[in-house]
Structures are given as structure tokens and as C-alpha cells.
A and B are shown apart, each in its own frame.
Chain A
Amino acid sequence: MQQAVIVSGARTAVGRSGKGTLQHVRPDDMAAETVKEIVKRTPGLDPAVIEDVIIGTAMPEREQGFNLARIVTLQAGLPVTVPAVTVNRFCSTGLQTIAQGAERIMAGGADVVLAGGVESMSYLPFDASLRIAPNPHLAEKNPDAYLSMGLTAENVAEQYKITREQSDDFSYESHQKAIVAIDAGKFKDEIFALKVQNNNGGVFDTDEGPRRDTTLERLANLKPVFKMGGQVTAGNSSQTSDGAAAVMLMSDSKAKEMNLKPIAIFKGFTVTGVEPGIMGIGPVKAIPKLLSRTKTKLKDVKIIELNEAFACQALAVMKELDLPKDKINVNGGAVALGHPLGCSGAKLTLSLIHELKRQGGGLGIVTMCIGGGMGAAGLFEVPSD
């Protein structure tokens, strides 16, 4: 069996939805620019050899519809011979596309695949205006299948006894870690400068989610959004965001042939289901399954990017799996940096790879919970130099 490797990748900086820099940038444009950038970052690549482009989004409709991936390849100027498919697994979409591409390569079905995700929550907000057109029979039988994500977080907090204070502390730390990482330029390599109309010389290259003025007191003063007397606030939930991210996958033989040095090796991917009403707990099932399938020990994993859909959900996962705090989201998470749904998996993969590289290589996991009641996890290895 072939090994699937990542030879290059890039992402946009993450914008705040509805008010941030990317609010008027169409998702297909964002993704097309990302695709162009990755082709540029893969020296010697003739785009015609790309055998498939797998791009996902959590809302494949309107500006993200009409087989978004195909629209993106055409907009990016890839040859018409390069095919494209759109994938949706809600919040794990960006990881799902990478896994799908890698597994095709491993199965011998392709040698070069571009995979990633994009989301503009400015264009397609995930809020009360959204019509979800539920199945009438399922709505009757199991309305929780359509429960709001915030309420699933409240359920997790209640069931796993996470307090408001713990959530707020966690959120505060997320901001602090993210600010330190941004100031240290840790995301510089993975982000490419997107041309936009702004006051920063027409270039968008810095994540704009983290709040430098946040304090524990401010966080504590926010009102619960989803439940009367609940604990989930705007401050301890992931931010709604806009962004795109993708990677270039190759078989190791193709990479060798092209003289490209892999930045990471894909080691495996699992996804599992849980009760929809406590979807946030998904990683608790996905991570052990991943470790067992890849015959890896948790202690051998250097760092984990655990998507912070909600602080309480991340805390519940850490508590259940007894995950060491210092390995989780060392550069902050989605509470601070934002969660552009379909993009997040690919974005977190890039951040994981670059952090592992800084730490001299090793194993890392990207994991997240998924709306509707699922959890996904992917294992990557960054070769030591």
C-alpha cells in the first residue's frame, strides 16, 4: 500500500463573520485563491496532474452550492480536466476531505489530490434565519436530531459536570495562548496573504478572532444564549468565522519523483457516532478508535488540536479521556481563533503540522465533534529533520 503525504498547504487568515475582513469575500473566491496559492507552493507541479479536488463546506448551498469544489477549480483557473467534488460532514469537513484524498492515494486510486475546506458564515450564517427543512417524521420521532448546537453543549456541560467558571477560564486561556502565538508569528507560514480591501495595505494575513481586551470578569458577565440559566455564552463558544484552508496530498512515490519533501504523513482517520443531543462528546469515541486502528499510544502523541466548538465540550472531552492539558491547543483554539465550520479541519491540520515541525517532528491528532452526533479524529506524523 502507498503512503499518503502532504507536500504543501495554505490557509487564509480567519475573519470574524458578519463584521470582519472577509465578510464580503465570497467563499468560492476565498477557496479559489487558496487553491492557486497551494499550486504555487508545490514547486514543479503541473496542475493538470491533479487527479481530484475535494473541497468541503458545512453548508453546500447558495454561494457554497452548485458543487462548490468544481466552481472553485474553474475560478482558480485549473485545467478543465481536473475534476472536483464537494463533501460535507459539518464541522469535520476539512479533515474529512484530507482523509478521503489520502485514503484514495493509499488505495492506489490516485497520486495527486488537492483537499480542504471553506466556510463563509457571513454569507451562510448558521442561525435562526436558516431553514433546515427537517424531515417531518424524524422531527416527530427524534426532534433532537435537529437540536441547536448550543443546547447540545448545555447538555454536555450538565451531563459531564463542567461549570461555567471552568468554561470561562478555559476560554480566557484560549485567547491568551492565541495572542501569544500570533505575536510570535507562529501562524505566518501556514497563512498566505489574501488580497482584500482593507486598511492593512490590501492584505489580510492575521487571524482576527482573538480579543486582547478580554478579561475573566467580562467573560463572566456575558449572558447564556441558548438556555435560561444555562452556561454557554458567546464568550465560551467558538466564534463564527470565515476562512479557507487546503493541502496538496501525494503518494510518497510521486513526491519522491517530483523531489518534494513531505511536510507530514497521513497516518489514519476515524469517525464515530454518538447521541445527537450530546454531539460535543464525539471525540471521546473517535480518539480511542483512532489510536487502536493506528496502533498508537496516546503518550506517543505530542500534541492534539481539539476543535473548541464550545469550551465546556472541549473540557468534557479532556476530562473523559484524561488528556494532558499541555498537549491540547497549545496555540489557542476556536473560542479565540474562530471556527469557520467546513474549513476548520484543514486549518487545524495545517496548524498541527507547523507546530509539530517547530517541536522537531512527531505525532499529532486533529479531532472535533460534529453536529448531528459524531466525532472525528485524524493522526498525522511530521518527519523529524
Chain B
Amino acid sequence: MALNIKRAAVLGSGTMGSGIAAHLANCGIETLVYDIVPKALTDPQQAQGLTTESPEFRNSIAANAINAMKKSRLAPLYDIDNIELLSPANLEDDFDELSEVDWIVEVVPESLKIKQPLFEKLEGIHRKGQIVSSNTSGIALDEITKGRCPEFCQHVMITHFFNPPRYMHLLELVPGEHTDRKIFSQMSEFARLTLGKGVAVAKDTPNFIANRVGVFDMCIAVQAAVKLGLKVEDVDAIMGKLVGRPKSAVFRLMDLVGLDIAVHVNSNLYEAIPEDPDRETFSDNSLLEKMVNKGILGEKSGNGFYQKDKDEKGNRIFKAIDFESLDYYETQKCELKILKEAKAQDDLGARIRVFMESEDKVGEYVWTVISSTLCYAANRVPEISESIEDVDNAIRWGFNWEKGPFELWDAIGVPYIVKRLKKENRSVPPLVQHLLDQGKESFYCFETHHPYVFNPREMTHNLIERPFAELYLRDCHQNKQVVKAGKMASLVDLEDGVLCVEFHSRANSISSEVISLIHEAIDLAESGQFRGVVIGNQSANFSFGADLKEMAGAVMTGNYQAIDEIVNQFQQTMLRLKYSRVPTVAAIHGMVLGGACEVSMQCDKIHAAAETYMGLVEIGVGLVPAGGGCKEWAIRCNQWAKNAGDASSFAMVNKALEQVGMAKTSTSAFDARKIGYLRPSDAVTMNKNVLLYTAKHSVIQMANQGYVPPLKANDILVLGRGGLAEFKVRLNIWRQGQFISEYDEFLANKVAYILCGGDVMDNSVVTEQYFLDLEREAFVALLKEPKTLARIQHTLKTGKPLRN
């Protein structure tokens, strides 16, 4: 069972402290935010008449941090209203109140001199059962709790969040020598289910897992680039998405982290690991130090490995640094032939091998960096973690890599790497040798329906026990539960009578193949083979919407009849999602745009991960939602108005138009609920890895309850001409205020036309199919507009919307 934490306290309101506090508020936890009492009154405080005794002054550091959450560029809160759960406090006056909370997180500066006395004081007010944790990223827990009694230490552990806490999935949990096992595992469940974090259990060793391996990788990546004389922008072009890492790759990431911070972390780590045979890697910071000495610190100083600038015409340009002279030069688009060759490979391991086999500096670079990091990771278990899986998870969740180091060993090929290491007379990590000695060639394997992973202590493959409520499609694939495999989607048996429609094309786009698979899934369920259908997948994003390429193809041939038919098919399938005899549930996460938003809106129920960005953004590509999206809004507006006892749904339709007409997306699932994309009956799941499980069980529950499909909506009251005139006036005002372009106005008027039920008398009553006809008509007509076609072309080419 997970701990039940109702109230918490965060000690320290700096970047990490306030980020953690905000995330606790996200999870509905009342949180006291502590900081020190400021030294002196500021001028505005004095003008306000505050004295050094006023609580407003004494709590002002924490209060300012809470206030800043409203303005932060990367919103730390799912819903700004949750800020009410946070209250400011100070460590002098409010210390005793700490005994009242269920969990205290220490996020004070990284210094033993501060942490040790604080923990001594905390011991003084500690209440049995209360968790105390430190967010330290480098200091050993045993040092922090030196001199504390074992009773207190039972409740103490490290909870290491990654920045920004809301968005980074990883939480490293580190028990101390005396930490109570039961409390620790309850805390771990709380972190996973309530905080929605991916938990990796680390050992109390310097920098724990992610930063130990990740920092090593960064050091090697910088040093090798300098040694081989590669260009900054070329390295980033290679080391990003193509090798399964985030776009920030190497040097952009360094700029984000801050070069001074990097030097500081590297040298601290160097000092802390006298036994590490690879420690010298952390000591060579010559380039970084040279840059820091010149005041080049990365993003925060405005220049790092990159510098933003403007050319003579005032266009924005990017410059990069020359490692020798430290002068900046204008970057060129990386034109290396190898990039194209790698791109042609769908498989990550194959892509990395393409680079490694390149007989030039690039090949040498990729091989050096990746092989060194993989060997380093293999040499550091079980020292830093008992679990290879935890190491992989930590790197995936903490550094946003597509695969962790051991998964990469498997993907690139253990024998492949070992062969080359031997050829170069480099030592093969003992762990890898053990694996090979047992006749195995991968750290992970799947046998007799179950996943296994190599255990670094027992040196055998042990069964992987997935945490409670985590269900993985990759396990289902391995276990041959695929009912039907398509190119862009598949039908997967989730067991217990639930069938999943899994999208798996590049953007998970919805093509006619996907539509017919949804049809087929409902057919299978209605025929009695399944209880119901889940639409869900476990890619980075749920789906970016309808397949524009397919649409563009039909436009090229001028076959508008065919387009009409495709759209009609889509609409009728959506109606089946809504009215079939079996429950349908959408499990959504990440981007849920356009057609994907329409799919989910028409399922019986949505399970949304907290990080869900959904919206009908069709206007961005010059179209209107035509898969029932406008129709659903109109029906919902009608329903809301009826429920509120309002005679007119105008205010609601106005809200719908603001969303659809401005192509807005939600900033979280909670925001989507506020907007109305999620109904009160839809559910939010904090941990995206639990989503599929909750969706599956929703289907089972609905089926067990005796599923009753909704009644057909055939009496929808619409605003008609009167409402439309009102929107026309408003859109004219937006356009004249230059908030939208002329073509946006034209498109938004089309949306308004549909939402109002077209050119009918005020307060007419229409049917669902009537709306769908309006949607389809508008959609097909827009595909004849040159500006719409220009928008589609632009998006297909660049992935970004065009505002023409």
C-alpha cells in the first residue's frame, strides 16, 4: 500500500524547492513552503509599512517563490488554482509546525554545514510515522544523518527529483542504512501512484544513478568532440533523436545546465569517488574552465557553446563556439551524408551501428562516446544500484533517452560491442563477460510469457515483476497477444477480455487503416470476443491527429468524392465508438491533437495522463474539425446550458469557439477538464505508466455494471443565425485587433457556422448527423482553398503550423 500523505512541508524555496512544492500541490497535497527570514526589509516592503516583525516580511522569500509559479515560463502547476494549497512559512518562527505534516522534504543548499544542523533540529520535532527526506543530488545520506538516533533514521531517505519536477518523470529514492524497509516501500508506492513519478531505487553512492552515469557521458561527449575537432552543431545533429537522445543532445544540454554548474558537479564527483577507475574522466574540464573564466556560462549568461544573434537584415541566427579560439561562428545546417543513411533505419540499434561503422571522425566519435558510457554503466552495477532496470529507467526518465544503457547494449548488440572492444584492446566489463559466459547475448529477454532481466549480483536472468498496475504493450507484443498487426496500428489483446487499438506510426497519425482497425476492434468486441475496447498506446505522444499525407494525396488527384468518403468513414466510426454495444475507453497522454482529440471525445470514457495536451487544432492546417469534434462541442454546450438552467448555450459556445477557433490546447489534463475537453466522468491518472491499466479496468468495470450505450442525440438546440452574427462580430474584432489573421477569421467563422448549427432560425433543433454533414461539407470545401493547401504543405514539410 502507498502512504497516505495529506500535508507536506518543503524546506527551501529555490528552483528545486518551489518546483517540488508546486508538484505536491499538483497532486492535491497541502504544502508548507519554508525558507529563511530575509536579512532586511526591501524598499517596497518598507513603503507598505511592514516591519521586521511582520509575517509578510518574514515569509517573503517563500511567498515570492510561490507567487513566481504563476509567471514561470514552463508552468510548474497543472492548474493555477492549485496554488491555494501552498502556504509560505519561515524556518525561525514556524519550525514547530513541521511536526504536523506527514512528509518533510529538505531542499536547502548543498552543504553538510547547513544540512546536518537542520536534521538535528528536525529530529527534535519529529513525530513517529512522519517521513523526512532530502533532495540532495550529491551528498551521502549517512553524512547528513550522522549523529541522529536510529528511530529517527528509520523515517529518513533521499527523494531526488529532477528539474523541472513536474515534467521530469524520474524520482531517485535512496534508503539509508537504518531506513525502515516497509516505510521505504510505502513511500515508493506513494511516489509512483500519487506523485506519478517513475521511481528508481538507488544506493547511497555519489550522485546516485542518473547523474553518475549521465555526467560521465557528458564529460566523454565534450572531451571526445574537442579531441576529434568536431563542430558543435554537427555533434548535436548526430547525438540527438537519431541516437535516441533528446534534441538538446550534448552542447545545447550543457548550455541549459550551465557550464559553471557542470564544472562544479564534475569536480565534486571527482573528489567523492577515489575508488572509481574511471574517475580521471571527471577531472578533465579544461575547455569548460576556459569558457567559465571568460564568463561564458551557457543560457544564463546569454552565451555558451551557442550564442543567439542577428544578421545584418535582423534575422535571428545561431552561432557556435570554436573550441580553440573561443570565437563564435555562424552555424551551418549539418549536411553529413551519414545522417541520411541513419535516418533510413527505423531501429535505434541499427541507426547507432550505422554511425559507429562510419570510417571517419563521426564514426569514431559515436563509438567512443557510446561504448565508453555503456562500459561505465556496466562497471558501476551493482555498486550504484542492485537493478539493471533501475539504471535504465533512471537514464531514460532523468535524461530523456529513448533507451537506457543496458537496453542500448541489447539494441546495438552485446557481441558486436564486445568484439570491437577486444579489437581495440579495451577491457570488457566483467558483468558483460559473465553474461556472455552464460551463453546469453542480452541483458533483457522474454521467455515463457514473462520478461527477464540480468541480475548483476546473482549473475542470472531473473523474472521482472512489473510494479502493481503497470501494464506494458511491449510485454503484450513479446507475449504474442497481437490479434491483428497493421502498418500504422495493431489490435492487442490486453487479456481479461479487453482489446486495445494501439497506434504506432511515426506521429501515431490516424489514417484510413487506423480507422478500419477501430471498426474491426468494435466488431470483434460486439461479436462477443471481447468485453470492450481501449484506444491507447505507449509512445511519447498519443497522436498528432489525422493523416495529412493521405488527405494531401487525394487532393492532388482532385478526388474530392474520395475525401468526402474518407471523412464520412471517420465520422461513422466515431459514432460507433459512442453508440456501439460495448464500452470504449480512450487512454490518452502527451499530444492529443485534432482527429485524436475527436477519437477520445467520442469514447464512453477518457483516462488521461496528468500530462495531456489536447485540443482541436485543425485551424492550424487550414481545416475545421470534421470527425465529430465540432459536433461534440455543440452537444456538450447544449447539455451544460440545460444543466445550468440557462436558456441559451451562448456562453458555452463562445468558449468552444475560443478553443477551436484559436487552435488552443490544454496545458495539462486538469486544464483540459476546465476547458471541457474532459468531462467530469473522465478520469485523470497521475502516472502515465499506470494509464493503460486503469483504462483496461474501466472497460471491465463498465462491462460488469451492464453497459448501456448512450441515447442518440437527436434534439440538439442550436443558436442559429443570431449566435452566428454575434460570433461574426467578435471575430471581426479579433482580426482587427490583429490577434488572428484574415484567413484565421475566415476559418473561425466556419467553425462558428458549424457550432451554431448553420444558417437556421435561432433556437432550432437539429440532429447529430446534421452536424456531421456540416462538418464534412466545410472540410471538403476548405480543401479547395489555396491557403488551406499552403498550410497543409507547410505542416507536412516542417511539422509546424503556418499562419497565412
A: residues with CB less than 8 A from B are 128-129, 131-136, 139-140, 143-144, 146-148, 150-151, 154, 226-230
Once the chains are docked, how many angstroms separate the CA of A309 from the CA of B724?
A: 29
The answer to whether A134 and B738 touch across the interface, beta carbons within 8 angstroms, is no
Say yes or no for B257: interface residue by CB 8 A criterion. no
Q: Is the CB of B737 within 8 A of A136?
A: no
Interface centre among A134, A140, A228, by most chain B C-beta atoms within 10 angstroms, is: A134
Q: A131-B650, A133-B722, A136-B721 are in contact. Are A143 and B737 (CB under 8 A)?
A: no
Task: Write out the residue numbers on chain B whose beta carbons fall within 8 Å of the beta carbon of A147.
Answer: 732-733, 736
Question: In residues 722-761 of chain B, which contact A (Cβ within 8 Å)?
Answer: 722, 724-726, 728-730, 732-733, 736-739
User: In chain B, residues 701-736, which have Cβ atoms closer than 8 Å to a Cβ of chain A?
Assistant: 721-722, 724-726, 728-730, 732-733, 736
Name the contact of A134 in the complex, choosing from B651, B726, B739 (C-beta under 8 A). Answer: B726
Return A265 CB to nearest CB of chain B, in Å: 42
Distance in Å: Cβ of A257 to nearest Cβ of chain B = 52
Inter-chain contacts of A135 with B (CB < 8 A): 725
Q: How far is the CB of B771 from chain A (nearest CB, A)?
A: 20
Whether A226 and B737, one on each chain, are in contact in the complex, defined by CB atoms closer than 8 angstroms, is: yes
Q: How many A-B residue pairs have CB under 8 A?
A: 52
Please give, as numbers and ranges, the residues of chain A lying within 8 Å of B732 by CB-CB distance: 143-144, 146-147
When the two chains form their complex, are residues B722 and A136 in contact, meaning their CB atoms are under 8 A apart? yes
Whether B736 pairs with A139 at a CB distance below 8 angstroms is no
Which of B721, B722, B728, B733 is the most central at the interface, judged by chain A CB atoms within 10 Å of its CB?
A: B733
Partner of B737, one of A132, A139, A151: A151
Q: Which residues of B contact A140 (CB under 8 A)?
A: 725, 728
The contact of B726 among A131, A229, A230, by CB within 8 Å, is A131
Closest to A152 in B: B736
CA distance A227 to B734 in the complex (A): 8
Cα distance, A148 to B734, chains bound together (Å): 10
Q: In the complex the two chains form, is A143's CB within 8 Å of B729's CB?
A: yes
A230 to B739, CA, bound (A): 11
A3 CA to B733 CA in the complex, in Å? 45
Contact A228 B737 (CB under 8 A): yes
Instruction: Tell me the bound Cα distance from A227 to B650 in angstroms.
Output: 25
Smallest CB separation, B72 vs chain A (Å):
19
Q: Which residue of A lies closest to B729 (CB)?
A: A146
- Chain A's closest residue to B720 (CB) is A136
Task: For the A-B complex with A134-B728, A151-B737, A228-B739 known, give 19 more contacts whose Cβ atoms are closer than 8 Å.
Answer: A129-B651, A131-B726, A133-B725, A134-B726, A134-B729, A136-B725, A139-B725, A139-B728, A139-B729, A143-B732, A144-B732, A147-B733, A150-B737, A226-B737, A227-B736, A227-B737, A227-B738, A228-B738, A229-B738
Tell me the smallest distance from the CB of A27 to a CB of chain B, in Å: 23
B96 CB → nearest A CB, Å: 36
What are 22 inter-chain pairs, A to B, with CB distance below 8 A? Answer: A131-B726, A132-B726, A132-B729, A133-B725, A134-B725, A136-B722, A136-B725, A139-B726, A139-B728, A140-B725, A140-B728, A143-B728, A143-B729, A144-B732, A147-B732, A147-B733, A148-B737, A151-B733, A151-B736, A154-B737, A228-B737, A228-B738
State the CA gap A133–B730 with chains docked (Å): 11
CA of A222 to CA of B729 in the docked complex: distance in angstroms? 26
Find chain B residues with CB under 8 A from A228 CB.
737-739
From B650, which residue of chain A is reached at the shortest CB distance?
A131
- Contacting residue for A230 out of B729, B730, B737, CB 8 A: B737
Q: Closest chain A residue to B721 by CB distance?
A: A136
| Distance of A377 Cα from B479 Cα, bound (Å) | 85
Closest 6 CB pairs of A and B: A136-B725, A139-B725, A143-B732, A228-B738, A146-B729, A227-B737
Pick from A135, A139, A144, A230 the residue with the most CB of B within 10 Å. A139
Task: A129 to B650: give the CA distance in the assembly, Å.
Answer: 10
A148 lies within 8 A of B725 (CB): no
Residue of A nearest to B736 (CB): A151
Considering the chains assembled together, what is the distance between the CA atoms of A114 and B802 in angstroms?
Answer: 60
Most buried by A among B722, B725, B739: B725
Q: Which residues of A contact B722 (CB under 8 A)?
A: 133, 136
Interface residues of B in 48-97 (CB under 8 A from A): none
Chain A residues near B650 (CB, 8 Å)? 131
- By beta carbon, the residue of chain B nearest A232 is B737
Nearest-Cβ distance from residue B92 to partner chain A, whole angstroms:
33
Bound together, the chains give a CA A9 to CA B681 distance in angstroms of 59
Q: In the complex, how many angstroms separate the beta carbon of A326 from the nearest chain B beta carbon?
A: 35
Residue numbers in B under 8 Å from A150 (CB-CB): 737
Complex CA distance for A140 and B736, rounded to whole angstroms: 15
Within 8 A of A (CB), among B352-404: none
Q: Which of B724, B733, B738 contacts A136 (CB 8 A)?
A: B724
Highest count of chain A CB atoms <10 Å: which of B726, B733, B737, B738: B737
A143 contact set on B, CB distance < 8 A: 728-729, 732
The answer to whether residues A148 and B733 also contact, given A136-B724, A136-B725 and a CB cut-off of 8 A, is yes
Q: How far is the CB of B196 from chain A (nearest CB, A)?
A: 36
Which residues of A lie under 8 Å from residue B651 when comparing CB positions?
129
Which residue on chain A has the smallest CB distance to residue B47? A213
Tell me the minimal C-beta distance from A123 to chain B in angstroms: 18
For residue A134, which residues in chain B have a CB less than 8 angstroms away from its CB? 725-726, 728-729
CB distance from A228 to the nearest CB of B (A): 4
Question: How far apart sit A134 and B737, CA to CA, in the bound complex (Å)?
Answer: 19
Interchain CA distance A143-B729 in the complex, whole Å? 6
How far apart sit A334 and B651, CA to CA, in the bound complex (Å)?
31
Residues of B within 8 A of A132 (CB): 726, 729
Task: Give A129 to B651 CA distance when docked, in angstroms.
Answer: 8
What is the CA–CA distance of A143 and B724 in the complex, to the nearest angstrom? Answer: 12
CA A226 to CA B738, docked complex, whole Å? 9
A-contact 0/1 string along B165-204, CB 8 Å cutoff? 0000000000000000000000000000000000000000
B750 to chain A, nearest CB (A): 15
Residues of B with C-beta under 8 A to A131:
650, 726
Of the listed residues B650, B651, B729, the one surrounded by the most CB atoms of chain A closer than 10 A to its CB is B729
Tell me the smallest distance from the CB of A10 to a CB of chain B, in Å: 37
CA of A228 to CA of B733 in the docked complex: distance in angstroms? 12
Q: How far is the CA of A150 from the CA of B733 in the complex (A)?
A: 10
**Complex alpha-carbon distance, A226 and B739, angstroms:** 9
By beta carbon, the residue of chain B nearest A144 is: B732
B window 608-651: CB within 8 A of A: 650-651
* Cα–Cα, bound, A133→B721 (Å): 10
- Which B residues touch A227, using CB under 8 A? 736-738
**Nearest B residue to A148, CB-CB:** B733
The CA-CA distance from A228 to B290 in the complex, in Å, is 44
Neighbouring B residues of A148 by C-beta, 8 Å: 733, 737
> How many angstroms from the CA of A147 to the CA of B728 in the assembled complex?
11
Contact residues in A for B729 (Cβ distance below 8 Å)? 132, 134, 139, 143, 146
CB contacts (< 8 Å) of A226 on chain B: these are 737
Cα–Cα distance between A128 and B651 once the two chains are bound (Å)? 10
Q: Which residues from chain A contact B725 at a C-beta distance below 8 Å?
A: 133-136, 139-140
Chain A min CB distance to B327 (Å) = 37
Contacts of A154 in B (CB 8 A): 736-737
- Asked whether B726 lies within 8 Å of A133 as measured between CB atoms, the reply is yes
Complex Cα gap A2–B724 (Å)? 51
In the docked arrangement, what's the CA distance between A256 and B724, Å? 58
- Give CA–CA (A216, B737) in the complex, Å: 25
0/1 string, B441-482, CB within 8 A of A gives 1: 000000000000000000000000000000000000000000
A134 to B732, CA, bound (A): 13
- Using Cβ atoms and an 8 Å threshold, which residues of chain B touch A129? 651
A192 to B732, CA, bound (A): 43
Q: How far is the CA of A229 from the CA of B728 in the complex (A)?
A: 23
Which B residues lie within 8 Å of A133 (CB)? 722, 725-726
Residues of B within 8 A of A144 (CB): 732
Complexed CA–CA distance, A194 and B58 (Å): 41
For residue A230, which residues in chain B have a CB less than 8 angstroms away from its CB?
Answer: 737-738
A328 CB to nearest B CB, Å: 29
Kindly list chain A residues whose C-beta atoms are within 8 Å of the C-beta of B738.
227-230
**Chain B residues closer than 8 Å to A229, beta-carbon distance:** 738
CA distance A313 to B615 in the complex (A): 40
A229 and B733 CA atoms in complex are apart in Å by 15
A88 CB to closest chain B CB (Å) equals: 19
